[in-house]
Structure 1
Amino acid sequence: MVTSAPPSLPLPSEWPLGESPLDITPAGWRPTPFHDFVVKLHSRCDLACDYCYMYELADRSWRGRTAFMPDEVVDLATRRIAEHARDHRLSTIRVILHGGEPLLAPPATLQRVVSTLRAALSSGTAAQFTVQTNGTRLTEQRLRLLSAAGLRVGVSVDGGRVANDRHRRHLGGRSSFPAVDRALRLLREQPDLFAGILSVIDLRNDPVETYETLLAYQPPALDFLLPHGNWSEPPPGRPPDASTRYGEWLVAVFDRWYDAPRRETRLRLFEEIVVGVLGGHSRSEQIGLSPVGVIVIDVDGSLEQVDTLRSAYEGAPATGLTVADHPLDAALRHPAVIARQIGAKALAPACLDCSVHPVCGGGYYPHRYRKGSGFRNPSVYCADLRYLIDHIAGRVQADVARVMRQRA
C-alpha cells in the first residue's frame, strides 16, 4: 500500500480533499498505472478561445514556460513513458500530442515523439498516437505527414460557424471556422486518420442542430464537454440553484443519438453512462468511479495532473516532479493523484448519500472545486448530471425490460 508521499513533493496549496488522501487510502490499495500520456509539444496557441483553461482561467503558469518542447525533453519523456509501460507490463497505451496548439510545433518534433517512443517500447506494448488540434493548421500536406508518422487527428470545434465563433476566434476576432471546416472535410475523406471531435457546450446553441452539424463531418467519435467551472467560479449560465439547463441540453442530444436507426457515431459521455446504468465500470475520468490513469508531460518536462485542473486555482495541476528527475511511478505516489484513484473514498458525503453516485462518480474532478474546501464537493453540475443520468437510466431500463419480455 502507498503510505506516504515522497518528501520532496510540495503539497498543493489546498488539499484535494480538505485532508490528506493518505489518511483515507483503503487498506491494501494499489495505484493504477498511467495508460494515457498527454505530451504538450507547444505551450502557445493561434486561437484566443475565451473559455480556454490554459490561458483564460485560474492558472497562468504557461507564461513562464518555454514555447515548445526541446528535443532533449522529448527524448526524456518518451524514455519515461516506455519505462512505465515496461515496468507495469501494459499491453496498450495512448499518447495524445497536445498544446496549446501542437501543430505549431515543427512536424519533425511530432515525428520524433512517435519514432523514439516506438523504438523504446517493448514488443509487448502497442501504442496509439493522436494529435488534438484546433484544426486551423491542418492542410493536405500536414495530414500526409501526420499519417506517415502514424498519428490520428482529433479536432476541437463547437458547431457551425455561428456556434463555433461564439468562443473560438483568432486574436483580433477573426473567424476560425473556415479553416476548421476545411480540416474536417479533409478528415471526412480519410476516416482512418480521424480520431473524433471535441465540442464545448454553449446553451445558446441548439443542441440537436449542433449535434447534426458536427455529425455531417462523419466523426467516428464525438464528445460534448461541459464548460469548465466550479463552485467558486461558476460556469456560464449556471445559476447558484439546482438548475438543469445543461442536463436538458444533453438530454435533447441523447434522445436524437439514441433514437437513430443505427449508431451514427460514438458519444463517449452517453456510452459511459449507459455502461454505468447497466452496472459496468467507466473508462472515462469525466464520469464514474474508475481510477484516473492520465498523466501530463508539459513542454519543460514537468509532470502534471489532468490539465483542466488549471480551471480551479493557480498551481492546481502541479506535482513538483519532472521527467529529468523522476520516474512516472513517483507521480502515482502524489497525494493529489491518489485522491483521483481511490474512487468513492474521495467523494463528498452528499455524493455518497446519492443513489446514482456509482454512475456519476461525483462528476468531473475539476468541477468539484470550492475555494477553502478543495475538491471534496459534488460537481457544480450535480443537478444537471442527475437529470441526465435519470433520463438515460429510464430509457435504457425500459428497453431492457421490453427485450426481456420478448424473450420470455
Structure 2
Amino acid sequence: MTGPRPVRQFVLKVHGRCNLACDYCYVYEMGDGSWRAKPRAMAPGTADAAVDRVAEHAAAHGLDAVQVVLHGGEPLLAGVAALRRVLTRARDRVPARVDFAVQTNGLLLDTAFLDLFAEFGVRVGVSLDGTAAGHDRHRRTHSGHGTHAAVTERLTALTGPYRHVFGGLLCVIDPTADPLATHTALTGSAPPVLDYLLPHGTWDTPPPGRAPDPTRTPYGDWLVTIFEHWYTAAPGPTSVRLFDALLDLLLGGESTVEGLGTDPSPQVVVDTDGGIARSDILAATVPTAAATGLSVHRDPFDAALAPAPPVCPTCAACPLLRVCGGGQPAHRHRAGSGLDNPSVYCPDLTRLITHASTRLAADLEHLR
C-alpha cells in the first residue's frame, strides 16, 4: 500500500461566518459547533502563514501546480482587500502554478469582487439549488427570506462579461424536487461545470428522505433520472462532474470527486485560526473528527498527511468498491462504530452505479 499523497488542494477558510442559514449546512446546522470559538475572519498573519505553508509544501514535493480555494462560511464576507492580500501572496510566493477558486453563495458577488477574480484568474463557483422554489426552500437568509432572485441577479454579470471566470454551479440534492426541472434551471446559464452534492448525513442523523429501508433509493432515483437525460442528450457546454467521474471510474480511470473512487482526497483545510484540518465534512459527525491539532503557525502540511480511513468489511467485499470507494467517509458514521460502516447512501450509490454501468456496457457491446 502506498503512503499518503502530497496535498494539491488547499482550502482556506478566509471567513468563518455566513450570511445565509441553509437548513442542510453541515457546518452551522449539524454536529460542528467549533466555529463559535474561532475568529470570525482569518487574520492577515494567519493568511500569510497559510500561504507560506502552501509554498513550502509545493517546493518540498516538487509540485508543478496546486489549487488554492477561498472558502468559508461565506468567503466574500472577508472583503476585497483581504482576498487580494491572499491572492497576491500566493501568486508571488508559491513555486508552482496556482489555480485559484472561490465557492460563494453569490449574494455579495459585485463588480469589485469580479474585477479582482478576473485579475487573478479565480474560478468562481456559485451555490444554486435549481428552480426558485427548490432554492428558496433551503437557502434562506437568517431572517427567513429566500435568496434565489438575488443570486440569479448576481449571476447575470458572471454569465455575461465575466464568463471567463465562471467556474460552475453547485446544487445540493433535494429528492422531493423535480430532477429534470432542477437540471433545466441549472443548465440554463450554461455553467461550464455542474456539481450535484448529496446532503450530508450519517446513520444517526440520516439525510432527508433516506429511510433505513434499503429497497428505497430516493437519491439514486433522482440522479438516475438526470443521468439518463444527460447521457442521451447531445453534448453541450456543461460538464456534470459526478457523472463524468462515474464514467471515468467505470472505464478504469480515476475520480476527481471526493466520495467516489478509492484514492484519498488530496486536500487540507485551514481554518480561520490557522488550524489544519482534513476534509472538514467529517465535522458533520463529531466536531473534532476533522481536527489534526496542527496549525500553520507551527506545522508543515506534511504533518497532516494521512491515508484515507479504511472501508468496512462489507464494502471491502463489494464489487462496486472501486467505483464508490465506500462513499464519503462522513456518511459512514454511526455512534459506537465510527466510520466502520457502509455509507448511509449505499442503496442510492448502488442504484446509480449499477444503472450507469449497465448503460455503458450495453453501448460498448453495441460498438463492438
Which bin holds the TM-score, normalised by the shorter protein? over 0.9
Contact 1:137–1:179, Cα closer than 8 Å, also in 2: no
Question: Please, what is the CA RMSD of the aligned residues?
Answer: 1.1
Contact 1:59–1:316, Cα closer than 8 Å, also in 2: no
Q: 1:207 aligns with which of 171, 179, 195?
A: 179
- Give the 3-state SS of the residue equivalent to 2:137 in structure 1: coil
Q: 2:139 aligns with which of 168, 173, 183?
A: 168
Distance (Å, rounded) in 2 between the aligned partners of 1:400 and 1:394 = 10
**Deviation of 1:187 (Å):** 1.4
**Deviation of 1:140 (Å):** 2.6
Alignment of structure 1 residues 297-376 onto 2, 5 Å: 297-332=270-305, 337-340=306-309, 346-376=310-340
Name the amino acid aligned to 1:362. Answer: G
Alignment of structure 1 residues 78-117 onto 2, 5 Å: 78-117=51-90
Q: Deviations over 1:87-128 (max 9, x none)?
A: 111111111100000000121111111110111122xx2111
Distance (Å, rounded) in 2 between the aligned partners of 1:71 and 1:246 = 42
Q: 2:113 aligns with which of 127, 134, 142?
A: 142
- 1:235 corresponding residue in structure 2: 207
Structure 2 portions without partners, runs of 5+: none
Distance (Å, rounded) in 1 between the aligned partners of 2:226 and 2:358 = 16
Matched, 1:60 2:24: no
Q: 1:222 aligns with which of 183, 194, 201?
A: 194
Distance (Å, rounded) in 1 between the aligned partners of 2:58 and 2:177 = 42
Alignment of structure 1 residues 238-253 onto 2, 5 Å: 238-242=210-214, 243-253=216-226
Q: Deviations over 1:40-90 (max 9, x none)?
A: 000011111111111110010000011101110111000000110111111
Alignment of structure 1 residues 392-407 onto 2, 5 Å: 392-404=356-368
Q: 1:127 aligns with which of 92, 98, 104?
A: 98
- Give the 3-state SS of the residue equivalent to 1:165 in structure 2: helix
| Structure with bigger RCO (C-alpha 8 Å, 6+ apart) | 1
- 2:43 corresponding residue in structure 1: 70
- Give the 3-state SS of the residue equivalent to 2:307 in structure 1: helix
Alignment of structure 1 residues 34-49 onto 2, 5 Å: 34-49=7-22
Name the amino acid aligned to 1:371. Answer: A
Distance (Å, rounded) in 1 between the aligned partners of 2:176 and 2:219 = 11
Q: Deviations over 1:354-392 (max 9, x none)?
A: 111111100111111111111121110000000100100
Contact 1:41–1:102, Cα closer than 8 Å, also in 2: yes
**Deviation of 1:292 (Å):** 1.5
**Deviation of 1:307 (Å):** 1.6
Structure 1 portions without partners, runs of 5+: 1-25, 341-345
Name the amino acid aligned to 1:97. Answer: L
- Give the 3-state SS of the residue equivalent to 1:205 in structure 2: coil
Identity, % of aligned pairs? 46
- 2:166 corresponding residue in structure 1: 194
- 1:281 corresponding residue in structure 2: 254
Distance (Å, rounded) in 1 between the aligned partners of 2:242 and 2:103 = 18
Q: Structure 1 stretches (4+) deviating beyond 6 angstroms?
A: none
**Deviation of 1:169 (Å):** 0.5
- Give the 3-state SS of the residue equivalent to 2:294 in structure 1: strand
Q: 1:295 aligns with which of 268, 273, 279?
A: 268
